[in-house]
Structure 1
Amino acid sequence: MPSVTWGVVQGRKEKLVSRVIICDYLKTIGIIPDELEDLELPSNVEVMRERVEFLQKLGLTIDDFNEYPLMLGCSVRKNTIPVLGYLEKIGIQKSRLGEFVKNYPQVLHSSVVVELVPVVKFLRGLDVEKQDIGYVLMKYPELLGFKLEGTMSTSVAYLVSIGVSPRDIGPMITQYPYFLGMRVGTVIKPLVDYLVSLGLPKKILARMFEKRAYILGYDLEETVKPNVNCLISFGIRREALPSVIAQFPPILGLPLKAKLSTQQYFFNLKLKIDPDGFARVIEQMPQMVSLNQNVIMKPVEFLLGRGIPPEDVAEMIVKCPQLVAVQVGFMKNRYYFFKSEMGRPVKELVEFPEYFTYSLESRIKPRYQSLQSKGIRCSLAWFLNCSDQRFEERLQADFIETETAGPSFCMGGKLGLPSNEEVVSAEEDDESDDETLLYRRTVSL
């Protein structure tokens, strides 16, 4: 008679033999089964073959299996098919399911109801659009493994606490979902604290993050601090740093030293602008670090072609760097109006190069005609560098004010902190295509 334990021992023997056969099969197709020793394997080799072939049909390779062999422990019917079906349901294209699994194979171990659904509901609760869920998860599939009450909630709560609008969290996630996985204490807060120490108010930082969430991914020690030090080394004044960063936040993440060196050399060689003048240009228009040199030269060549001496052109660019971003076609129209209709000397353009950055149809012409009708003779800055309301007040005055030094109104000229009225005015200009679009991009955070 067999002993009481005979069936148990026999069962163990069969399992052991089955495991050996399965491991031999995996070895024959190039899979190293070492990590599967503690894993519950299927009862026979046919089931394992089904798993391998199913995943291969998705696009996974032997190398992918060796990278994460634990995926072979997932039942096709109980794990893989339900998970893939849900992923497809929330917007991940069927043709990209294999890519998703390759990037985040741990998803195959997940419970759809207990783990995946709550994360998707959490994202929807943060105003991520339904049609964007698949896109977000393709960019950052690890989100499906996060605990809701952990890093994700903490990151969102901290950003809202510094002024980020809750309604902008959804768009931020769609643009750059990785910040949901960043620890506040070691990544986000140190970056915020450093930028605040440079003079940037948290309110401005919040607007920056809303528009460019990827800034949160800039490494503080490896990228941000070295770039700030680089700006200072090129002559940018410390008090100008907040304005430079607010105007062009990507400057914190660029390979800045190489770009500044190249542009500084170009400005000195081609435009005869010395390093100090170059620093003033960057302070007013930090986008210049990435502007193509051929683009810069077109407006310069136009001005030189009008007989303006090189040293005066250099002075104009230092005063108003936005000149180099104005399309030559617009410059021509304004220049010919200036010469033929206004009949003014070119030296006035040298004194007020911002003239070229204003709309001819919606600002220069109508204001000039108003001056003509009243017989007023004044400088370009006097009638252009002010709001519509202020211009009307000036027309009604009994004398022409003396222009004093101070912050520029900067309608279409110097970058600074333009009023809301002027931003709206710029958007309504007749010539608001490429040129005004660039202006709005420049002044927006």
Structure 2
Amino acid sequence: RCLVEEIGVPLARLGGVLLSFPRLLTLRAEDVLRPVAGFFRDEVGMSTEALGKVVAAFPQLLAMNVSRHLRPTVQWLCAVGVAPDKLERIIRQHPKTLGYSLDRNLRPKLHYLCDEVGVPRDRLGRLVAAFPQVLGLSVELNLRLTVQYLVEEVGVSRARVGKVVATFPQLFGLSVERNLRPHAAFLVDEVGVPRERLGRMVESFPHLLAYNLDDNLRPSVRYLRDALGVPQGRIGRLVAAHPQVLGYSLEEKLAPMVDYLVGEVGVPRECIPALVQRCPKLLGCSIDRNLRPTLRFLEDEVGIPAALLGAVVAKYPTLLGLSVDRNLRPKLDFLRHEVKVADDALGQIVVTCPQLLAYSLERRIKPRYRLLSTRGLRLGLHSMLAPTDQAFYQRYGDGLASFPAVARALLPSDDSATGNYYWHKDMAALAAAAASA
């Protein structure tokens, strides 16, 4: 009665729970069961329904002593950086976590991850919260073999492997022989990723190694080749540059994006293969949250005719990945109000050379305009922005030595930083998809 009404074990699962752990029948409700249940409710914040599911999965929890075992383990988890609001999720996802010995299992395991693998200590809590199963894996039979494979065969840098597994600790749950090695062979032999670039690719997106070969990766490669027309010989380098492209859903992301670019934006169908090769990140953007607002901005505020938007996108697709509020609009305001570019000329300029809007406002546009202004010179946008720093400052300044002085007079800002490009926001979604694959 206590198991069902107070602890929340589903009645339909009670028989199986007692069969798997018959010792439950010998545990007194007052002395053992209720104190354990009270600990999970009052100190962990777990509901009765959640506790019942945890006990059904791992009934041995109810036999553990609160003061000698459960509370010290929970306190240790918080001490290594697990957020208190993540404790319930960890226990529900992997209830055996609380059954491991602190001295024989938990502390040595995290010592290995930090001191030998190189996982930053400030990321331990998030690592455990993301993949608590790592606490039950053997250092010698699982963790060390995975790290050795990533470094010695895949080519992940020894200095960066700690951050790789901190980013995606689920790698430790994948078998080297059944998962990791077949994935690496597929990427090199079938996709065409250059072997020397495999390690860097995994460093940038380790989640790719968790996607199902037949359900996810092979269909994505076929779609890029057969539906979009990307030459087989180019797919490997495309994936090496942006491995996330193989994680996008065909039905929910890739096909709708191509239909939108061709059908609504007006990108010529024959330009799609080149567009995808030049800017595969564009395929991960949201049509409604990113592309439509950007195209509306280009048409309404920059002054590009709707009929020419497709040609502009085909010529420079990266433009659609730039944030309107953080990137494009500040540049437009500066060009209009400071550089005094006429409204009717701006759209024509961008149609001719759309990459002008991709140059950094703080590191390229402002310093060059400032230098020209001090010299009483006025150039067209293309002449002002297109030349390399070396060519520009040798011609209009005192060589490259003048560039730092000009740049320091401004507040530097890197337009490549997260937030200025829409595709930075898709990493979390892809990571979640890989973790559940």
Fold shared by both chains (TM-score > 0.5): yes
Query: CA-atom RMSD, angstroms?
Result: 4.3
Structure 1 counterpart of 2:228: 234
Deviations 1:271-304 (A, max 9, x none): 2223222333222222222334454345544554
Instruction: Write the letter of the residue equivalent to 2:291.
Output: I
* CA distance 1:247–1:393, change in 2 (3 Å): same
Instruction: Please state whether the residue corresponding to 1:231 is helix, strand or coil.
Output: helix
Q: Does 1:139 align with 2:125?
A: no
Instruction: Write the letter of the residue equivalent to 1:324.
Output: L
Deviations 1:150-187 (A, max 9, x none): 12111111111233222322222322211112111221
CA distance in 1: counterparts of 2:206 and 2:277, whole angstroms: 23
Q: Does 1:265 align with 2:246?
A: no
* CA distance 1:377–1:307, change in 2 (3 Å): closer
* CA distance 1:115–1:334, change in 2 (3 Å): same
Of 286, 310, 316, 2:312 maps to 316
CA-CA distance at 1:318 after TM superposition: 0.7
Q: Does 1:154 align with 2:145?
A: yes
Structure 2 counterpart of 1:32: 14
Alignment of 1:225-374 (within 5 A): 225-232=218-225, 233-293=227-287, 295-301=290-296, 303-304=298-299, 308-326=304-322, 327=324, 328-329=328-329, 330-331=331-332, 333-334=334-335, 340=341, 349-359=350-360, 362-364=363-365
Instruction: Please state whether the residue corresponding to 2:162 is helix, strand or coil.
Output: helix
CA distance in 2: counterparts of 1:79 and 1:276, whole angstroms: 65
- The count of corresponding residues between Structure 1 and Structure 2 is 391
Q: Greater CA deviation, 224-233 or 206-215? A: 206-215
5+ residue gaps, structure 2, are 41-45, 398-406, 428-437
Q: Does 1:64 align with 2:64?
A: no
Is the 1:200–1:242 contact (alpha carbons within 8 Å) kept by the matching residues of 2?
Answer: yes
**Greater helix content:** 2
Instruction: Write the letter of the residue equivalent to 1:215.
Output: L
Structure 1 counterpart of 2:164: 172
Deviations 1:299-353 (A, max 9, x none): 5445545665545432222111122334342245447888849x98976644432
CA distance in 1: counterparts of 2:362 and 2:76, whole angstroms: 56
CA distance in 2: counterparts of 1:365 and 1:72, whole angstroms: 66
CA distance in 1: counterparts of 2:157 and 2:167, whole angstroms: 15
Instruction: Write the letter of the residue equivalent to 1:200.
Output: V
Decide which structure has the larger Cα Rg and report it: 1
Instruction: Write the letter of the residue equivalent to 2:31.
Output: E
Instruction: Please state whether the residue corresponding to 2:159 is helix, strand or coil.
Output: helix
Higher relative contact order (CA 8 A, sep 6+): 2
Q: Does 1:53 align with 2:34?
A: yes
Structure 1 counterpart of 2:403: none
Is the 1:359–1:429 contact (alpha carbons within 8 Å) kept by the matching residues of 2?
Answer: no
Instruction: Write the letter of the residue equivalent to 2:320.
Output: V
CA distance in 1: counterparts of 2:166 and 2:351, whole angstroms: 46
Instruction: Write the letter of the residue equivalent to 1:205.
Output: L
CA distance in 2: counterparts of 1:430 and 1:361, whole angstroms: 7
Instruction: Write the letter of the residue equivalent to 1:176.
Output: F
CA distance in 2: counterparts of 1:192 and 1:433, whole angstroms: 34
CA distance in 1: counterparts of 2:346 and 2:25, whole angstroms: 93
